[in-house]
Structure 1
Amino acid sequence: MKIRRHFFMLREAYPHAEDGVPFEVTTAELAEKLDCTHRNMVLLLKRMAAEGWISWSARRGRGNRSLLAFEQPAEKLLLEEAEELALRGDLQSAFELLQRKGLGGASLTRFQQWLTGQFGFRSTVEGQRRTDTLRFPLPGSIDSLDPARIHYSGESHLVNQLFDGLVRIDPKGGSILPHLAHAWETNEERTEWTFYLRKGVLFHHGREMTSTDVRYTLTRLRRLAPNGLYNWVYNGIEEMDTPDDTTIRIRLQQRNEVFLSFLSTNRASIVPEDICEAEGEAFGQEQGTVIGTGPYRLASRGHGIWILEVFPAYFRERAFLDRVEVWTMPHSSDAGKEEDLEELRQFQVMHNVRIEGMTGGQWQQVRQSGTTCKFMTVNELKDGPLANPAIRSVLNRAIHRGELLRLLSGDVIEPAASFWLPDKSGKINNAGWEHDNAGKLRKELAEAGYQGEPLKLITIPQYENDAAIIRGLLDLSGITLEVQLLAAEQFKGAERMSADLLLFAVMLDEHRELRLIDLYKSMMQHMDRQTSVKVEDTLRRILAEQDSAERIKLFIQIEGILAGRHSLLFLYRKHLKTAFHPSVQGISLESLGWVRFRDLWFR
């Protein structure tokens, strides 16, 4: 409402005026503050008075002063303005308004509470036509929906709704299943893979998918993201040929037993050659087209709201939901606190939440198959105290895992000593550990040659809390830690090589092997030469090993080498949970624990 914005102008012009207390002002001054003529100023003030926002007693005559009082708090009107913007579909401007006006956390919380009531399932009927819509909140923002360029879990989730891959993997990672390809075969050396595509699979713009699109997708991935996630897989493709529209033959430079697993990731989602070539860099970006073969197509996006509509020609069964509205929302620093649960309950489907205190009869919960494992690695190529294995050993013990878990708290946190094996440390007694151990550790550090030099830990902003806790624990033993935060893209680059310690996390889900190979290849950049050679050799053996159980043994060998050198320091695992209202049916979790919209239906 435009008149409300004039009120904000007037209120900001008199920041020290108290609500409900009249003060003197001339009409000329009011016209100047509102940047309008005397006539328009009078009309504006009368409208504000009619709304009950102000009281105004005009006094005519030269030198006479009028009385003005603000009768409504500006905060209340700001919230109303934000609500109107959100209802008009401009969620981004609503948040920007509240942040620009400098409202405190309580006001933002009230807006979030109002916004929560706008989410959930709605069914409308026009004539004989019923339309089922789910309005879904997504913390964070969406920068890209190009499978080759996505970085964040929210982006990944939407890509899973809009695109498909040649194959899919079951949630436990135990088997590869047909998808866009209905069958495949490989040669005896397992370096040549032939995929047979389903006929009649349509892209959202109506063209049939062919083997040429598959070849283009993998070629484009190498071109756009030569150093991207899993690049060692697609950069290992030697040649591709397409004997016909439904057959593609892919020849690898060397055997790779996780190749099929890679093809099941959304990184390998099939994109249409004609649209990508026409749009170039714009494909999947804010101003570009998003075209896949998935169960939903992108109908519109803007101002923080992404609208997905069912794709009736989907090659598998049609989704129940006709429309999904994804509202991207800024991250809250208080996300996950118990006091937020009341508003979260209205979402009907919630991801990655603690659900202590929820009434069992009101909510059901699924413990997602994946876990997040936090750990630190040592930059062994940097001269400094941590070049000494003895100091690394003491530092590892100074991060008391029992106290770490207590400070983190939560029913989803548990100790970790491996990416594969369960922790066997049992219940840890924290009582008095600071006083009993700190002196011993300080003495060991001094004997090892540590003289209090500050160590630098680099991590991403999302892990700032973990870094602060670790810094406090190390401080008790006399280890000085400086924390530097890098954006995710910077963290992948050379800038992290200035660190003594790096704080990482890895998702252990159905793609665990791919993620760990990616991780170890990254860690090799800061391993000592001898260790790097050992790890590289073991990774080569993993990629050549067809038996998954034998591959796991080799993975455990790698972590044993690194943990034994105290260059890989496990911290903890976090189990993820999804809670959902009993009215929601068809809960089925995909990679990263997100619910597939295609499977949802409502009683």
Structure 2
Amino acid sequence: MKFLSPSWLSAALIASAMALATLSLATPSSAAEDKTLVVRFYDDPAGFDPANIFRIENENIAFNIFSGLTTYDGKTGKIVPDLAESWETKDNLTWTFRLRKGVQWQKGYGEFTAADVLYSYKRILDPATASPYVSELTGIETMDAPDPYTVVIRLKAPNGGFLHTVANYHQGQIVKKEAIEAAGDQVRWKPVGTGPYYLDSIDVSSRIVLKRHDGYYKGPAPIATLDFHIIKDDATAAIALRNGEIDLLMRQSKEEQLQILKDAGFKMNHVDNYASSLKVMNFSDPILKDVRVRQAIAHAIDYPAITAAIAPSLQGAATSMLMPWMDVFSKDAPTYPYDPEKAKKLLAEAGYPDGFTLKTLGTSAQGVTEQQQFEIDYLSQVGIKMELELVDTPTFNQRRNKGEFMTASRLLPAINPDMILFSYLHPVNIAPKGLNGARYNNLELTTTIEAARAEADPERRMELYAKAQKIVMADLPYIPATSSNVFWPSKTNVEGVNINYLAQVNFWDVTK
């Protein structure tokens, strides 16, 4: 260690005092105090309660307000410690988490402890909460807190992916009992977490402001204020970025606007092939319950041609509910290449030689998209009339969650393949209890995914996941439409925008 002489130290102190008398000391932390990052938010906010949160834009806010026992590295997508410093398990059945000490809640709610973890998970499991994520935690047999900084969870069956369950996403986000109770029926608008930012103010029609949580356990974030401006129209958002009114666009989903921004030299922060977009086939519908009808719809639409025509940078064709970068992805599942003649034959065999009307639930915020226009045209060529029912976003979420539709769309961002397979295919999650909006119930599939999650042998595990993908793609409760690439264009001085495979950004990493 290098020591300074008293005389040198005195001179330095005098010089520092003189500098402070005229201007604040130019250290990185003080320089960051006044920094504001203006971010485009692209839809009406629907609230930030982890128990019921929906849609990626809202989840980006929650991701920065809350923490989980684990979280996802923004660059690699790997599980990393968060509120838990470490964990251990010998059998994937009993998990012991060692919690960080001294972690502070936002807004003066004191220190985070094991009691907060138990409360958060019990709240999800409570039927009164009506959380669509309850199935993620129903595998828990017991939860204990032997001391304030230890949580021991015993599962009903082994689960090698349990670290995903307790991550900073939906049911894994930890809340404070006193804050929940104080918020009452306004809980979705009054989130309190332990993350790098807290909610300072919100106008649901125009603006969301997050402020830096100075007590964050990793230290204060470089940016003091995140000022989210609600701009629904992509072209308007691109103009705002070009005019310097916005620093960063949370999503740009129009190909032509993306190209304009590329040509103008803006930074193209992006992640490719992060999630599948699906058409949900509701099995309670008398027409769609016939597998031949579902297969006909799949053969009738040429999704590779659609993506090439309207969004070659933003989309690709999808062939599965799971993504190719997942370690359990299988190439052996059935696929449905464009074949209108086969579609017509399947419809005739199902008793619909003249077609039928396919009602599709959508959001008025998006209107009739180019993809939907193509779908309408392709389906009409085999006799299917696709009718759109456009509703506001909250109504869309409510009806989709309840399973009140014939067909609807669903994007499946997830790093954990089990979250997709169990949430959207397991019968315990049939809407309105969970996210299985297709109301799909296949005993063979159910036993297969349960066995896959519990299997410790890697080779056998892969066999089971491959079998599950074959079953579901043969049954088609969901028709894979496109895979999504996500772009967050920004000014060139904005650094650290690392988009993970949930399309989320940890703003603690972001500087300007």
TM-score by length of 1: 0.67
Deviation at 1:296, TM superposition (A): 1.6
Tell me which residue corresponds to 1:28: none
Q: Structure 2 CA distance, aligned partners of 1:528 and 1:136?
A: 39
Tell me which residue corresponds to 2:201: 300
**Aligned pairs for 1:398-413 within 5 A:** 398-406=300-308, 408-413=310-315
**Aligned pairs for 1:269-280 within 5 A:** 269-280=173-184
SS of the aligned residue for 1:276 comes to: helix
Tell me which residue corresponds to 1:585: 495
Aligned residues: 452
Deviation at 1:263, TM superposition (A): 0.8
Give deviations 1:456-511, integer Å, cap 9, x for gaps: 33333258534443222111122333444561111121423xx2xx2433334424
User: Counterpart of 2:301 in structure 1: which amino acid?
Assistant: I
Deviation at 1:154, TM superposition (A): 2.3
Deviation at 1:519, TM superposition (A): 1.6
Q: Structure 1 CA distance, aligned partners of 2:237 and 2:121?
A: 43
Contact map agreement 1:370 1:508 (CA 8 A) in 2: no
Q: Structure 2 CA distance, aligned partners of 1:157 and 1:249?
A: 29
Q: 1:550 to 1:306 in 2, by over 3 A?
A: farther
Give yes or no for the alignment of 1:599 onto 2:509.
Answer: yes
SS of the aligned residue for 1:151 comes to: coil
Contact map agreement 1:185 1:195 (CA 8 A) in 2: yes
Q: Select which of 58, 62, 66 maps to 1:155.
A: 58
Tell me which residue corresponds to 1:321: 223
Deviation at 1:567, TM superposition (A): 4.9
Give yes or no for the alignment of 1:474 onto 2:379.
Answer: yes
RMSD over aligned CA atoms reads: 3.3
Give yes or no for the alignment of 1:373 onto 2:279.
Answer: no
Q: Structure 1 CA distance, aligned partners of 2:202 and 2:290?
A: 53
Q: Structure 2 CA distance, aligned partners of 1:447 and 1:279?
A: 56
Q: Which moved more, 1:168-177 or 1:149-158?
A: 168-177
Moved beyond 6 Å, runs of 4+? none
Q: Which has the higher contact order (CA 8 A, sep 6+)?
A: 2
Q: 1:126 to 1:505 in 2, by over 3 A?
A: farther
Give deviations 1:320-346, integer Å, cap 9, x for gaps: 1122222234x23xx2x5x86343333
Deviation at 1:248, TM superposition (A): 1.5
TM-score by length of 2: 0.77
Q: Structure 2 CA distance, aligned partners of 1:316 and 1:197?
A: 14
Contact map agreement 2:65 2:198 (CA 8 A) in 1: yes
Tell me which residue corresponds to 1:240: 143
Q: Structure 2 CA distance, aligned partners of 1:215 and 1:440?
A: 53
Tell me which residue corresponds to 1:137: 40
Q: 1:284 to 1:480 in 2, by over 3 A?
A: closer
Give yes or no for the alignment of 1:177 onto 2:80.
Answer: yes
Contact map agreement 2:52 2:132 (CA 8 A) in 1: no
Q: Which moved more, 1:167-176 or 1:140-149?
A: 167-176
Give yes or no for the alignment of 1:455 onto 2:357.
Answer: yes
Q: 1:394 to 1:136 in 2, by over 3 A?
A: closer
Contact map agreement 1:171 1:369 (CA 8 A) in 2: no
Structure 1: tracts of 5 or more residues without a match = 1-124, 425-429
User: Counterpart of 1:475 in structure 2: which amino acid?
Assistant: S
Q: Select which of 73, 83, 94 maps to 1:192.
A: 94
Structure 2: tracts of 5 or more residues without a match = 1-21, 332-336, 431-435
**Aligned pairs for 1:93-492 within 5 A:** 130=31, 131-171=34-74, 175-188=78-91, 190-206=92-108, 207-223=110-126, 228-267=131-170, 268-285=172-189, 289-302=190-203, 304-329=206-231, 331-332=232-233, 335=234, 337=235, 341-345=238-242, 346=244, 347-353=246-252, 354=255, 355-359=258-262, 362-368=265-271, 371-384=274-287, 386=288, 388-406=290-308, 408-418=310-320, 419-421=322-324, 442=344, 445-446=347-348, 449-461=351-363, 462=366, 464-465=368-369, 466-485=371-390, 487-492=396-401
Q: Structure 2 CA distance, aligned partners of 1:172 and 1:520?
A: 29
Give deviations 1:56-80, integer Å, cap 9, x for gaps: xxxxxxxxxxxxxxxxxxxxxxxxx
Please identify the structure whose Cα radius of gyration is greater: 1
Q: 1:548 to 1:585 in 2, by over 3 A?
A: farther
SS of the aligned residue for 2:404 comes to: helix
Deviation at 1:540, TM superposition (A): 0.5
